Structure 1
Amino acid sequence: MSLQNQNVLLGVTGGIAAYKTPDLVRKLTAQGANVRVVLSASAQAFVSELSLQAVSGNPVSCHLLDPAAEAGMGHIEFARWADLILVAPATAHCMAKLAHGMADDLLTTLVLASPAPLFIAPAMNQQMWAAPATQANLGLLQARDIGILGPAAGEQACGDIGYGRMLETHEIAEALVALHQPTKSARSAVDEKTLPLAGQQVLITAGPTREAIDPVRYISNHSSGKMGYALAIQAQNLGAQVTLVSGPVALPEPLHVNTIQVSSALEMHQAVFAHVAAADIFIACAAVADYRLADIQTQKIKKSADEMTLSLIKNPDILADVAALPDGPFTVGFAAETQDLEYYAKDKLQRKGLNMIAANDVSNQDIGFNQADNALTVFSADAKIALPKQDKLALAEQLLKIVAKNVSANSL
């Protein structure tokens, strides 16, 4: 599986990710491709013609009407030459022009003039990616069977975190190999490597639950939902179809994820069991309240006595109930502990019949609740893997790759 002897036309537009394109050319040529590069006017501010010419071995083109090109019409020459066209990075402006058939420079003109398959790797600020206009343009491009590679989620050059990062250069090259192969078996092998959760239905819970006391008060906990949302984002990046059941959090809903908002533990239990039958993997990351009020007051409780006693009853155990299903999904629990982490995590793993559990020490103020970073120790029946402190998006990716490997092993 490669791009051996394929003519790949790489269009580079003016995003900060353009600095990665010399390495992208190297990755494409390593797959056997013949690469020629077209730079937009704004891309020249981020990457030089000389560097791209050096790595591709071919002259770089920038102008629509080039006296050195065939009959002065470079777009016709390129259109006839290309076996596939890749635009990376593809800015929001470029996507808009492609979606509406504009042809005001060499790159957009040759796209219209070529019958070659077109792939784009979007790269932009997360808010620009989420903007209704960009999403509408994305829909138009998808409707025309244009290959959309990414974007990924993570920290961006502007400091924002979210969708909009261009895929890594090796991911783009590997995706092109996968998508440009005529056989299903070839694509499946690459998907398994680059998208280890491809074809998997993943159900995730995140955030806290709120157990009402009266119309204005509730019992809850310190969970921010960041770890669960990171898992949902990365599961989608790794190829899964993701359903996220979320308690109340102050986080934007992840793009391309089916997010279901709930409040109480009973509501979360109901939402999980409405979707668990379709799930291949269930990850219980939510900090679900163990108890709820036996009697919720319909009116606000007035302050009167110096003491007040609340009667609590146990909530259903969502994780244990899923793990007990006869044909249930691969089940991953979380254990947030303040002491004897390994002992309590292994006990929970065995007692609830889980496939895997990820434990974290929430007594450490640098990780866990409301923090950007976390560290996990992952336990299964016969293994223990320590994942060191890092940002939750990176940690989520590592954990999901461990889960994918174990799911694959279990299916053999």
Structure 2
Amino acid sequence: MLTGKHILLIVGGGIAAFKSLDLIRRLRERGATVTPVLTKAGEAFVTPLSVSALAGRKVYRDLFDLTDEAEMGHIQLSRVADLVVVAPATADLMAKMASGLANDLASTLLLATDTPVLIAPAMNVRMWQHPATQRNLVALQEDGVARVGPNDGDMACGEFGPGRMAEPLEIVAAIEAKLADGPLAGKRVLVTSGPTHEPIDPVRYIANRSSGAQGTAIARALSALGADVVFVTGPADVPPPEGVSIVKVQTAEEMLNAVTAALPVDAGVFAAAVADWRVAGASDRKLKKSKDGLPDLAFAENPDILKNVSNLRKNRPELVIGFAAETNDVVENATAKWKRKGCDWIVANDVSAASGVMGGSDNTVVVIDASGAETWPTMPKEQVARRLADRIAQALKN
């Protein structure tokens, strides 16, 4: 619940602005006070009257309204809230935030605030994927701005892909996680999850049986303890958790790029089952059967994400946790991997067919660190996640 919490909501321009009305309603249902700020572009999609009626408060619109300055100056307005939420956060607003521009009320508030900021990006897929927007996103992450979404989906312009603003309940969950008074409040944690798909041709790929269930549970448990979670996921079977920043990838190289872009973080949990190899020179056309027999597939080694992050000289997380999926000699193989990778902990488990771990609801893990190997009893993956999250919170506290 958000009883007693004060949210400063900045509504940017774009068709997604209509979702801000439902967001206001959902926040007030949970006891939050919402002070709305409506940009000029936002007024093209929702009216000040509708925003004010749902918020039950005055809508702030103009930087140079002298009456407002006398009652509550823009500096005070930017600092009295527990959280500043920008939904939708357009490409223009993100660019202003990253560049430190302040030519209207919204951008001035964002530059003047010392309050935590959460953005819910919304824009055309091409705008989201443009290098300028991605550079701005990296800058905002380095400044400590939290993010929820965007999601994949149909666009108002008729295109499909990442750029849809997160749904109101997803944003509410992110707000609740951001304002949680847990032991990980103020900490930023990266979690990788799911398999990777390495293409052979446009319709075939190399993959594994990872469902993403354990990584998803870990992200959810960390968020529940107040962490700002960046969740980098391959094409998993289970839906991603709510209230975290989700980055969807397909290949190991894409995952490495997403991980690098998310740094710096306080801790990294590398639970993804990343493919060790990819097909070198994957075909851009579907491979056909041939009288010459089977096609020859040459393999190349994928980047070692865990080792790369563990051995960073700059922006190495305080705590780096890897996962070891083994089918035999679990402790011996995982201990060797811990030494080889240079990470702080390895969480090892038996993923042989008989264990039922891959795709199952339970897990049996061994946590390996400098003090040795600690075997946990078999328990649901959600419980493994909570226990691991508690261990991470204790380590970061110390």
Query: How far apart, in 1, do the equivalents of 2:148 and 2:200 lie?
Result: 36
Query: How far apart, in 1, do the equivalents of 2:55 and 2:86 lie?
Result: 16
Residue 31 of structure 1: how far off its partner (Å): 2.8
Query: How far apart, in 1, do the equivalents of 2:139 and 2:292 lie?
Result: 59
Q: Partner amino acid for 2:251?
A: T
Over the matched positions of the two proteins, sequence identity in percent amounts to 35
Residue 58 of structure 1: how far off its partner (Å): 0.5
Query: How far apart, in 2, do the equivalents of 1:66 and 1:227 lie?
Result: 59
- Match of 1:223? 204
- In the alignment, structure 2 segments of 5+ residues that lack a partner are 221-229, 236-245, 255-268, 280-289, 299-324, 331-347, 363-378, 388-398
- Secondary structure of the residue that 1:109 maps to in structure 2? helix
1:211-360 counterparts in 2 under 5 A?
222-223=203-204, 240-242=231-233, 257=249, 259-260=251-252, 280=271, 282=273, 310=293, 324-327=327-330, 329=349, 354-356=356-358
Query: How far apart, in 2, do the equivalents of 1:123 and 1:309 lie?
Result: 50
**Structure 1's 381 and 172: CA in aligned 2 closer, same or farther, altered over 3 A?**
closer
Contact in 1 for aligned 2:197/2:250 (Cα 8 Å)? no
The structure with the largest alpha-carbon Rg is 1
Contact in 2 for aligned 1:150/1:166 (Cα 8 Å)? yes
**Structure 1's 138 and 47: CA in aligned 2 closer, same or farther, altered over 3 A?**
same
> TM-score under structure 2 normalisation?
0.57
- Secondary structure of the residue that 2:156 maps to in structure 1? coil
- Secondary structure of the residue that 2:28 maps to in structure 1? helix
- In the alignment, structure 1 segments of 5+ residues that lack a partner are 192-197, 211-220, 245-253, 263-277, 289-306, 316-321, 332-348, 358-379, 383-404
- Secondary structure of the residue that 2:204 maps to in structure 1? coil
Query: How far apart, in 2, do the equivalents of 1:408 and 1:237 lie?
Result: 10
**Structure 1's 46 and 410: CA in aligned 2 closer, same or farther, altered over 3 A?**
same
Residue 14 of structure 1: how far off its partner (Å): 0.4
**Structure 1's 73 and 182: CA in aligned 2 closer, same or farther, altered over 3 A?**
closer
- Match of 2:382? 408
- Match of 1:94? 93
Residue 134 of structure 1: how far off its partner (Å): 0.8
Q: Partner amino acid for 1:134?
A: T
1:167-182 counterparts in 2 under 5 A?
167-182=166-181
Contact in 1 for aligned 2:196/2:207 (Cα 8 Å)? no
Residue 16 of structure 1: how far off its partner (Å): 1.2
Query: How far apart, in 2, do the equivalents of 1:70 and 1:257 lie?
Result: 46
Query: How far apart, in 2, do the equivalents of 1:181 and 1:21 lie?
Result: 22
**Structure 1's 406 and 78: CA in aligned 2 closer, same or farther, altered over 3 A?**
same
Residue 19 of structure 1: how far off its partner (Å): 0.4
- Match of 1:44? 43
Residue 152 of structure 1: how far off its partner (Å): 2.4
- Match of 1:155? 154
Residue 41 of structure 1: how far off its partner (Å): 0.6
Residue 57 of structure 1: how far off its partner (Å): 0.4
Residue 79 of structure 1: how far off its partner (Å): 2.7
Q: Partner amino acid for 1:209?
A: I
Q: Partner amino acid for 1:34?
A: T
Q: Partner amino acid for 1:176?
A: I
Query: How far apart, in 2, do the equivalents of 1:225 and 1:155 lie?
Result: 28
**Structure 1's 83 and 206: CA in aligned 2 closer, same or farther, altered over 3 A?**
closer
Query: How far apart, in 2, do the equivalents of 1:133 and 1:158 lie?
Result: 21
1:107-161 Cα deviation digits (max 9, x unpaired): 1112223322222111111211111111111122122112222222333322333
Contact in 2 for aligned 1:282/1:330 (Cα 8 Å)? no
- Total equivalences in the alignment: 282
Query: How far apart, in 2, do the equivalents of 1:13 and 1:31 lie?
Result: 23
- Match of 1:274? none
- Secondary structure of the residue that 1:136 maps to in structure 2? helix
Residue 184 of structure 1: how far off its partner (Å): 1.9
Q: Partner amino acid for 2:381?
A: V
- Secondary structure of the residue that 1:121 maps to in structure 2? strand
Residue 96 of structure 1: how far off its partner (Å): 0.7
**Structure 1's 206 and 69: CA in aligned 2 closer, same or farther, altered over 3 A?**
same
Say what the alpha-carbon RMSD is for the aligned residues: 4.7
- Secondary structure of the residue that 1:209 maps to in structure 2? strand
Contact in 2 for aligned 1:149/1:175 (Cα 8 Å)? yes
- Match of 1:303? none
Contact in 2 for aligned 1:15/1:43 (Cα 8 Å)? yes
